[in-house]
Chains A and B, each alone.
Chain A
Amino acid sequence: MGLAAAFWIMALVAVGSALAVVFHRNVFRAALALVLCFITVAGLYITLSADFLAAVQILVYVGAISVLIILAIMMTREVQKGSPVNKMQIPAAVVALVLLGIMVYTVTATPWKVAAEAPLSPTTVPLATRLFSENGFILPVEIGAVLLLAAILGAIVITREK
């Protein structure tokens, strides 16, 4: 019962803050609504018993990415201009609603084979063994490290003054 209440609260706040990101005219407040959306997604991870991912979500998204986005908003002086929309509002709304209808129909019509076991409760140690063990995901982890290094170097090179 408590889990259901937590899910509904998180879901409503997540959808509301996502709508605020899209429809709020103040860019800075849209960024703050995005932070709220990230926090509720972390709460949803906790209701799915993914505790490590919830902590990573808070650290990476709420801590780092939102700070980067707010820094970019401040450096580009876009707060005065607001968040204008282009001429494709109605086609985009039609596309989004049709896609939503297709996805909701597919999800509700598919008979999912839900497993009987309860999910692993502290997930940090199983995730580490899954990522770094012999026949695990060690090669994608290395590729991810190289990707992050390339992204850091690329960001520095692109933003450097001539």
Chain B
Amino acid sequence: MTIGLTHYLVLSAVLFCIGLYGALTKRNAVIILMCIEIMLNSVNISLVAFSSYIVPLLLTGQVFAIFVMVVAAAEVAVGLAIILAIFRNLTDIDVNNINLMKW
């Protein structure tokens, strides 16, 4: 059984759903950021798989994956900075206790 585009897309879907479950259920803010990174990586897998199976000579999916990596790096830097600032003010990063903006 040869490996085709469907295998990569199903693997990407499985990783995305694992990350989604973690991001929805975890209370530690750092773990939530890690789950978001898993989701971004799964999307990157599907982009690269589309690029090398559907348009193998254009590389558009790989260019898009590079931009996703740029945005993910910026997101994790700002996200961890926000988590550290919250920890300094509240000495806690449990998202159930961070409800300053909750009405």
Contact = CB atoms under 8 A, between A and B. Distances in A.
Interface in B44-77: 44-45, 48-49, 51-60, 62-63, 65-67, 69-77
Contact of B34 (A34, A84, A123, A154): A34
A140 B18 contact: no
A107 B63 CA distance: 22
B38 A72 contact: no
Contacts of B1: 4
Interface of A: 3-4, 7, 11, 14-15, 18-19, 21-22, 27, 30-31, 34, 37-38, 41, 44-45, 47-50, 52-53, 56-57, 60-61, 64-65, 68-69, 71-73, 75-76, 78, 81, 83-86, 88-89, 92-93, 95-97, 99-100, 103-104, 107-108, 112-115, 117-120, 123, 126-127, 130-131, 137, 140, 144, 147-148, 150-152, 154-156, 158-159
Interface of B: 1-11, 13-22, 24-28, 30-31, 33-35, 37-38, 41, 44-45, 48-49, 51-60, 62-63, 65-67, 69-78, 80-85, 87, 93-96
